Amino acid sequence: MSKKLQVTVWGENVHEWKHEAVRQHYPKGMHQCIADALNEAGDIEARTATLQEPDHGLTEEVLARTDVLTWWGHCAHDQVEDKIVARIRARVCQGMGLLVLHSGHYSKIFKSLMGTTCSLRWREAGEVERIWVCNPGHPIAQGLGEYFELPEEEMYGEPFGIPAPEEQVFISWFKGGEVFRSGNIWRRGNGKIFYFRPGHETYPTYHNANVKRVILNAVRWAKPEGVWIDGAPEIKADKAPEPLVARGGSVHDAAGAIA
């Protein structure tokens, strides 16, 4: 009987097979690289799921047993079925943690949880990214220095079309002159959401020790701490906490349905 934290690492799994520039870094797929790093930690059981599987690998059963879901997608956001997006969102609201990685900023699931455009400016030029820690005491920043650098990354620049983050963990400096909110926290329902910027497919970012540390920290931080099962119960007048006699007109029948 496993007590390990159950993580599902979702990968779009397209670039790896179309572009040699990607495959050279991730011969088993980006998702497998991320899952392998998590499995090394000892307290985590990470499995992968991909776009091409039935239900994109995210059946009701898989999501029910998932504590934290990580999401990487880029060129095939539109191929993710709306019903699966709704299923993920429902689980986040219940309490499942969600890590959205890099180009996942434009995924259906992230946009549907944020309610905003999630747009940004970008440049694929293999430039230096320096990721600054905005809160050295935050659990997601443990084990890092004041900043860490990625020698080659895609640039994402402000304005980033997101609601104001509830906590700011990282902000990035780019060699070409831009800045970006690259480690952002929100809560939706009872689920904790962390967006982490790095991870362009043509660079070996997910092999970087600091990036692996952040993902590990974030997975542990995002674990559920309780469950909120959705419901919209009708409380009849005779079940009200205080004595109450119903009055006035109604559009509902005795069963609560609209007449």
Subset of 28-57 contacting its own copies (CB under 8 A): none
Q: Indicate whether 137 belongs to the interface with its own copies (CB under 8 A).
A: yes
Q: How open is the CA angle 187-188-192, to the nearest 5 degrees?
A: 45
Instruction: Select 54 or 234, whichever has its Cβ closest to its own copies.
Output: 234
Of 73-112, binders to its own copies (CB under 8 A) are 74-75, 89-90, 93-95, 106, 112
How far apart CA 249 and CA 55 sit, in angstroms, is 45
DSSP at 55 = G
How far apart CA 185 and CA 164 sit, in angstroms, is 9
Instruction: Select 39 or 189, whichever has its Cβ closest to its own copies.
Output: 189
Q: Which residue among 155, 197, 208, 213 contacts its own copies (CB under 8 A)?
A: 155
Q: Which residue among 19, 28, 65, 207 contacts its own copies (CB under 8 A)?
A: 19
Q: Indicate whether 254 belongs to the interface with its own copies (CB under 8 A).
A: no
List, in order, residues 6 or more apart from 147 with CB less than 8 Å away. 130, 131, 132, 133
* Contact (CB, 8 A) for 218 and 195: no
Of 166-195, binders to its own copies (CB under 8 A) are 166-168, 171-179, 181, 186-190
Question: Rounded to the nearest whole angstrom, what is the least distance from the CB of residue 195 to its own copies in the complex?
Answer: 13
Question: Rounded to the nearest whole angstrom, what is the least distance from the CB of residue 5 to its own copies in the complex?
Answer: 16
Question: Rounded to the nearest whole angstrom, what is the least distance from the CB of residue 122 to its own copies in the complex?
Answer: 6
Instruction: Select 9 or 109, whichever has its Cβ closest to its own copies.
Output: 109
How far apart CA 86 and CA 103 sit, in angstroms, is 20
- Amino acid, single-letter form, for residue 184: N
Instruction: Select 65 or 143, whichever has its Cβ closest to its own copies.
Output: 143
Q: Which residue among 50, 126, 210, 213 contacts its own copies (CB under 8 A)?
A: 126
**What's the 3-state SS for 130-182?**
EEEECCCCCHHHCCCCCEEEEEEEEEEECCCCCCCCCEEEEEEEECCCCEEEE
> E-assigned strands of 14-146?
44-50, 68-72, 97-101, 121-133
Q: Indicate whether 147 belongs to the interface with its own copies (CB under 8 A).
A: yes
Task: Report the Cα 177 to chain-centroid distance in Å.
Answer: 27
Of 194-253, binders to its own copies (CB under 8 A) are 201-203, 221, 224-237, 240-242, 244-252
How far apart CA 106 and CA 162 sit, in angstroms, is 11
Instruction: Select 71 or 160, whichever has its Cβ closest to its own copies.
Output: 160
Q: How many chain residues bind its own copies (CB under 8 A)?
A: 102
Instruction: Select 54 or 145, whichever has its Cβ closest to its own copies.
Output: 145
How far apart CA 104 and CA 215 sit, in angstroms, is 14
